[in-house]
Amino acid sequence: MTPRPLMFFGTTNLDLCFNVERLPTPGESLIGTVTRNPGGKGANQAVAAARLGLQPLFYTRLGCDQAGQSLLESLREAGVCTEAIEIATGEVSGSALVLVGDDGSNMIVIDPGANLNVTPEMVESAAQFIERDAIVVAEMGMPIAALSRLFEMKGEKGFELIFNPAPVRPGLSSQAWRSVDFLTPNQAEAFELTGIAVSDFDSAAHAASRLLDLGPRAALITLGAHGAYYADANRSFALRAFPVKVIDTTAAGDAFNGAFAASLAQRLPLREAVRKALAVAALCVTRRGAQNSMPSAQAVDEFLKAQTILELE
């Protein structure tokens, strides 16, 4: 069966990653090792989908600099379709400083660069690439006005919308929230949106109910090592995470979102799509980095087969 068209809208950054024994406290200096990796929430999500065998389109805004050229080439090498990407003359590409502790925890500071200047008109122009019945994925790193314009075009363009509200910011209208088909926050983002601390599936159920009150058709909350909780007006379910040795949690949420979108595009049933997304996120955290930690379709299939065998034993 032919996959549905898939397009991502979001940010791209060059990540400066420091691996340290533990995360520093304020005022403390630590010794670490540094690498430079392609990143950015939207780019990570698009690469996650491409590694699973899809050919997703991606809209982002890169600076006209060496970093932008490198980021563009990295996306193309991963299999992402880059026709919609805009190169911003006279601007620098986004960048991020990422600290990763030996336990896999991280701290991230972002300079959005060219990502900051995405306008509603730019998004409207990029929307020409959205095909009928497409799945569109957006994240909250883009300017709110640009996101709002994308959401407004949903009825006209006829796409299904996955919205990853990260980082959470105010400004979206109630009408924009009602345009969302799948809202995919993590625990911290669910708390920011609802005021409900999410620590287990029971609290996730409470938060999901509050999220649905915002207007989306469905809420899908990721709970890190616990798994994920899904709810809509008619059903709900929880799936546990796959146990793995965590090396680096950077981009785990992006891996989940990209894989969830890819799985829906591949027409997998909803529960299977969530399970596959959990598998991709599990494999992601066993590797260092962002885009380079996204697993291939073969690796995911082998992982899921192994988990099925373990569940039967």
Tell me if the domain spanning 6-12+40-93+115-312 has CATH number 3.40.50.720: no
Output the pLDDT for position 248. Answer: 84
The active-site residue out of 133, 232, 254, 301 is 254
Per-residue confidence (pLDDT) for residue 311, from 0 to 100:
62
Q: Could you tell me the residue ranges of all domains in the chain?
A: 6-12+40-93+115-312
Walking along the chain (313 residues) 10 residues at a time, the average pLDDT comes out as 96 92 90 90 97 97 96 97 97 92 86 96 97 96 97 95 96 97 98 97 98 98 97 97 90 96 98 98 91 94 86 58
The predicted structure's pLDDT at residue 67? 95
User: Is 254 considered catalytic here?
Assistant: yes
Task: Give me the pLDDT at residue 288, please.
Answer: 85
Instruction: In whole angstroms, give the CA distance from residue 124 to residue 127.
Output: 5
Q: For the whole model, what pTM was predicted?
A: 0.93
